[in-house]
Structure 1
Amino acid sequence: MHIAMFTNNYRPFVGGVPISIDSFANEFRERGHQVTIFAPEYKKTTEDEENIFRVPSLKMIKYGNSCLPIPLSGLSNLKKEFAKLNIDIVHCHHPFFLGRVGQKLGHKYNIPIVYTYHTRYKEYCHHLPIGIDKFCEAALDKIVENFCNNSDLVFAPTQGMTNYLFSIGVNTQIKVIPTGIDLSHYDQIEINDYQSQLQATNDDILLFVSRLSAEKNIDFLLKSLEPVLNSKEKLKLLIVGDGPEKENLIELSVELGVKNQVEFLGKKNREELIKLYKLSDIFVFSSLSETQGMVITEALAGKTPVVALNGTGVKDIIIDGKDGYLLAPDDKRGFANKVTKLLNDRDLLDEMSLNALEKANQYSIQNLAQDMLKYYHSLCNFRANYQPEFAAGQR
């Protein structure tokens, strides 16, 4: 089978969508399938560009300290190259730009179209002026609804996101397929002296991993954990990631008197991230706007229980009291109490750690890739046996 994936962001950009694409593409290739990825050009190139078709782009959308590209497919020979590839499945990862191009090509050549709903775009509209934000939310819902209903199958990472898509008018079939984890990577990577490199040899460690932006609600995290950090000298909060809120968060840690126990580590590569997940005692998470919460499943794979807010994406993964705790969005005291409870009860922490790893096994990339391939084959078989009366491209 030859799968064409269309995405508006990809390596070297670091984010959930590129990680998801690579996870599934690598597993598909391991099973003997072809995957061609249509993605924007970046100033920096990656070492492995095989089976990647780069589209000229403008760097115009500000995203933290970098700019996301706007791909200009009309300036490339994308459509001619696509026609040569004998594609079996078109898999789009965004409902606009290259995702829209992929959908149109699927319609033109009567190829099944799949869309993965990765991002709750409307959650980012609060950055806009009052009035415009509501208009933007409604427009984005309409774009997503239209794109889903012009696809043959939609993948959503959680049941909560499935319910949301139905609520905005999507009537295409939706299957829950989260981004998988290659658990073998966790087995292969040793912590060794990494904790001493962090100068935290004898410390308990709380870990947070995310983009440092307003929608991640990180100020709640710092304010909630302030009494815990101030009461435990041998406790560190490690914050991994970068973004527009970094300086504000550093200032907040100073104001709260916890600057010596909060370390901003910046971006980390995959190997270092896995080491951090494995050596941390508790993963703490404050975002309320996750589509899936990939960092949650990654933490679980490191045998790290989670204390988080009961928000979208997270509540579909964590079972309160078993592999972590879920708190109400404004419950700072409860958040601090649950972290303290786990730190003070090592038997409970160990039990939850084992439960965390058990949960992570449900997100094995091998199993999820097999499920996705099953749906691909089903679409291809249906399309082969059913030829609509209208001409291809007239949908």
Structure 2
Amino acid sequence: MTADTFPPDVNGAANFTERLAGGLARRGHDVHVVAQAHDNRQRVVQEEHSGASFAVHRLHSVRWLGHDWLRFVYPWRINANAKRILDEVQPDVLHINSHLITGRGFSTEARKRGLRIVATNHLMPDNLIEHSGLPKFVWPLAIDLSWRDSRRILSRAAALTTPTRRAADYLEKMTGLTGVHAISCGIRAADYTPSFEPRTENRIVFTGRVTGEKQIDKLLEAMARLPKDLDAKLDIIGDGDQRRNLESLSGRLGLKDRVVFHGRVTDAKLRRLLSGATLFAMPSTAELQSIATMEAMASGLPVVAADAMALPHLVHDGENGYLYPPNDVQALADRLEKVLRLPEDELAVMKNASLRLIEPHDIETTIDVFERLYRGEKIDDPVTEVPPLSAKLREQFRSLRRRAREALDS
């Protein structure tokens, strides 16, 4: 497996590669991951990830100057490194998780050997363009050229996947490729702890990279518009190039005592903060799936999210949260307020809906499907769309919850 981003990086693509590699290793497969060396020491190390040990080939890398943490392996050495590693490992299949550098070099060498290639696309060029250093007037041309380049590299794969059907349709539209499989990144829901205890405060949580495309500034502006009687707090978990700017913005908006920038946290603290929150907010307009939203749903949180890209796949409006028009700050504030004012029984219905909707995204199903793709078997894409509850069933859930609460009170 090759990746242009891998732990200790924290993002959806890195998390997916780590979890899939760990799951395959737990099943007894001999897994090798090729990724960047963050200390720039080239070596092969047995690393522990997702409860398993497997070989990680760390390659010399350089930090991208337009980004605060992203590192790329040396592009001028990738073909030579790919040739050497493929000759040493003699793999049965190559799975590329980025077409930029590692996937480009390894797929070039894999084709020479007749090696089966599986590719997963996590990238939208629109997400990287702001870090390119290019003037804005050339961005449309650069994005168009990037999609053409994506087509050239991804077309080498015998099987091409992306996390959701919406993302697959978008990838087909932008590249002209067909037959893209929609396979969820997957999540181990048992790792998260939903809480149905009555809330003692209103806490909103966001997790993810603190960068421009996440639209966190819109979330802060919406926070400033919430009625004061809600006394809402916001936890921002993650780090990135926009953190300092957003901290300044929260001060200008008068939110310093209501917003906490946690930076990167341990898995244990992340799960604790999610369990203690009232709702999760995802204002990003460029999510191909959003593992962060999936983690929140596995924690039993209602979600308020932008009605963009793959988020409507996870958030069913009025069932486990609300969608709002992208970039509409007032609409975001209104949806946040709507959830925060729900009585406990209504909030519990939304929490249960999130737990129900996350069930089909089990990581073991994802691993099963990739095993079949590696073997060259035909697959049917896993069904992750859950039919919405009827109004009658929703009312029955509410009624049951009210009666249970009344019984406890008496």
TM-score (norm 1): 0.86
Given candidates 20, 33, 41, the residue that maps to 2:37 is 41
Counterpart residue type for residue 48 of structure 1: E
Given candidates 349, 352, 355, the residue that maps to 2:350 is 352
Highest relative contact order (Cα 8 Å, sep 6+), 1 or 2? 1
The alpha carbon displacement at 1:126 in A equals 4.5
Aligned match of 2:338: 341
Aligned match of 1:388: none
Aligned length: 365
Q: Is the 8 A contact 1:120 1:289 kept in 2?
A: yes
The alpha carbon displacement at 1:360 in A equals 1.5
Aligned match of 2:385: none
Q: Distance in 1 between matches of 2:170 and 2:267?
A: 31
Aligned match of 1:177: 183
Counterpart residue type for residue 281 of structure 1: T
Aligned match of 2:259: 262
- Equivalent residues in 2 for 1:268-283, closer than 5 Å: 268-283=265-280
Q: What does the per-residue CA deviation read over 1:119-163, in whole Å, with 9 as the maximum and x for residues that have no partner?
A: 112333246313221121111110111122221111111111111
The alpha carbon displacement at 1:67 in A equals 4.4
Aligned match of 1:390: none
Q: What does the per-residue CA deviation read over 1:5-56, in whole Å, with 9 as the maximum and x for residues that have no partner?
A: 0111212222222211111111111222121111122218888274111222
Given candidates 207, 211, 232, the residue that maps to 2:209 is 211
Aligned match of 1:162: 168
Counterpart residue type for residue 176 of structure 2: V
Q: Distance in 2 between matches of 1:286 and 1:264?
A: 17
Q: Is the 8 A contact 2:233 2:258 kept in 1?
A: yes
- Equivalent residues in 2 for 1:225-244, closer than 5 Å: 225-228=223-226, 230-233=228-231, 235-244=232-241
Q: Distance in 1 between matches of 2:116 and 2:92?
A: 7
Q: Distance in 2 between matches of 1:267 and 1:314?
A: 23
Aligned match of 2:392: none
**How has the CA–CA distance of structure 1 residues 162 and 74 changed in structure 2, closer, same or farther, with 3 Å as cutoff?**
closer
Q: Distance in 2 between matches of 1:170 and 1:102?
A: 23
Given candidates 45, 57, 60, the residue that maps to 1:53 is 57
Q: Is the 8 A contact 1:209 1:240 kept in 2?
A: yes
Q: Distance in 1 between matches of 2:159 and 2:246?
A: 41
Counterpart residue type for residue 320 of structure 2: D
Given candidates 68, 72, 90, the residue that maps to 2:71 is 68
Aligned match of 2:386: none
Counterpart residue type for residue 266 of structure 1: G
RMSD value, Cα? 2.5
Structure 2, unaligned stretches of length 5 or more?
49-53, 380-410
TM-score (norm 2): 0.83
Q: Is the 8 A contact 1:60 1:70 kept in 2?
A: no
Percent identity, aligned pairs only?
24
Aligned match of 1:20: 16
Q: Distance in 1 between matches of 2:66 and 2:296?
A: 29
Q: Distance in 2 between matches of 1:265 and 1:185?
A: 21
Q: Is the 8 A contact 1:229 1:261 kept in 2?
A: no
